[in-house]
Structures are given as structure tokens and as C-alpha cells.
Structure 1
């Protein structure tokens, strides 16, 4: 799939939540609102998988990064035919997304990469300029 870079998509929304368990629910509910606001119905075939992917990424950030990052940021971007979102934390570890299904089948990251691929989307880890954190960007066609 050739998708627009998330930075070039015209619609943006940013959510910052404390790195705690409630972050998953808040991020999921916000994602539903953003999708509706962008004109993507909750019954769209990509909505359920997108919500699961987001929940897995936020859960991972809470579980593995909360000790070093007080907040998690979710950035949403939307344009014609494309919905993208990123989960950002300040933990320096950058998970290898391309090997996730092979190294830990059934894990959260394996689920993320498998669902993203099934939807024809892309998953990319982008490190912060200072090396102290990262964002995992998911781009899905609509």
C-alpha cells in the first residue's frame, strides 16, 4: 500500500493520558469519537481492528513504559482514504515490528502487525530525535 505520510494528512487530533490502566479505555473511546468525527462509521470494516490495534499499543506502553514515562500520547491523522494513529511513550526501547509475529506469536505486537498487514496498512516505529522515546505509527486504508 502506498499511503500518505501521517504528517501530510490534513486532520489531526492529539490525546495525552496518564500512563495507567485507564489510558486504554480513554484512548479507545477517543478513537471511536475521532473516527466518527472523520466520517468513518463505527461499523466500517476497519474500525474494530483499528480499535484492537490501538488498545494493544496503549496496553504495551502502559505495561512496559510507565516506569519511565508519566504520560502516553496518541496522535490521530486522517485524510482521504487513510486513517493513521501513533502511540508515543518516552521509553527508549524500539520493538522490532517486522519480527514480532515470528518471535512471539500471539503476543500484542504480533497481533498488531498481523491485523495491520491484513488490512493492507503499515506499521512503523519512529524514534524520538533525542533517542529517549518512540512512536509506533499505524496507517490504515479506508
Structure 2
């Protein structure tokens, strides 16, 4: 039966906000993919009207830049294409970058004279400061996914992005 075209949720049913969803895109492992990925994520968050403050938005965009840069620089030889995923739920935002290189990177302290090498430290710091989580997981095809999930400040829904089994959405190896 129709009530004029609107669907009403059942009592107790959680109805996702209009901005919730998951978006994926692939990009070549080229330097030009870094700003393109960052702009794509920013534009998507703005277009979907995600309730994200400017500080958190800048943090998410920096995370995207760092993760895509690492995939391009360190995995490009074995992974000519990388995957970027943005997921937004009621109260959280999650970014993930997938590549086909099996090496699982670790955040290392860089020498003060080094101009690089701090990307994962920066990702961990931004994520931690926001009260989120980040990790690296192997995929079933031998690659990896590096992800960061951050809470949307001011959004009152208590649901938080899953961070373990089942995430990331890309295939992953079973724990050994």
C-alpha cells in the first residue's frame, strides 16, 4: 500500500542520513593522483553535505594526501593502480587507500634533516587527535589497505565506523 509515495521506517529502524554512503574510485599510481584524490574526496564531502568541521575536513584531506602519496611512491612498482575509498556514516568518516604491494609500512621517526618519511606519523597523529583509529590490513590478493576512521564532531549519533573484521570493504586475508 502506498501513502503518497513516501516510505515510513518501522518503529526502531535506523534511517541513514542523506550524506551516508561509501564511494570508491581507482587512480593511476602517479603523482598527479595525489591532488586529484584529495579534490575528489573534498568535493564529495561538500556535495553530500557531510557535517564536518573545517579542522576535521583539513585533517581528512591531509590523510588522503599522505596515504595516496605513500601508495604512489612506495607501491607504484607493483601497483600501477590504487584504490581510494571514502565512507561516511552517522557520526564518522573513513578514508582508505588500497594498493597491490605486500609490504606493510610502519610509522617511523624521521631524521630532522629529512624532508620526507613522516606521512604515517602524521596520519596517526591526526587520527589520534580526532579520537579515531587507523590501521593497515592485508588484502586477499596480497596487497594492503591503509585506513583511518575519524568521528564527526558534533554529530550526536553514537555509531562509530567499524575498524575490524569486515573492514575494509576490499577483500582481505583471514587473520592467521
TM-score, structure 2 as length reference: 0.68
Shift of 1:58: 0.4
Q: CA RMSD in A?
A: 1.6
- Higher Rg of the two aligned structures: 2
Paired residue for 2:109?
Answer: 104
Unaligned residue ranges in structure 2 (runs of 5+):
1-19, 111-116, 153-176
Q: How many residues align?
A: 127
1:73 to 53, 77, 83: 83
- Secondary structure (helix, strand or coil) at the match of 1:46 reads helix
2:65 to 38, 52, 55: 55
Seen in structure 2, the aligned counterparts of structure 1 residues 38 and 140 have a Cα distance that, compared at 3 Å, is farther
In 2: Cα distance, 1:38 partner to 1:124 partner: 26
Paired residue for 1:126?
Answer: 137
1:20 pairs with 2:30: yes
In 2: Cα distance, 1:20 partner to 1:41 partner: 31
Paired residue for 2:161?
Answer: none
Shift of 1:85: 1.1
In 2: Cα distance, 1:47 partner to 1:88 partner: 21
Shift of 1:43: 5.1
Structure holding more helix per residue? 1
Unaligned residue ranges in structure 1 (runs of 5+):
1-9
Structure holding more strand per residue? 1
- 8 Å contact from structure 1 (residues 16, 74) kept in 2: yes
Seen in structure 2, the aligned counterparts of structure 1 residues 51 and 107 have a Cα distance that, compared at 3 Å, is same
Structure 1 runs of 4+ with >2 Å offset: 40-45
Shift of 1:40: 2.6
Question: Which is bigger in relative contact order (C-alpha 8 A, separation at least 6)?
Answer: 1
TM-score, structure 1 as length reference: 0.83
- Secondary structure (helix, strand or coil) at the match of 1:45 reads helix
In 1: Cα distance, 2:94 partner to 2:52 partner: 16
Paired residue for 2:40?
Answer: 30
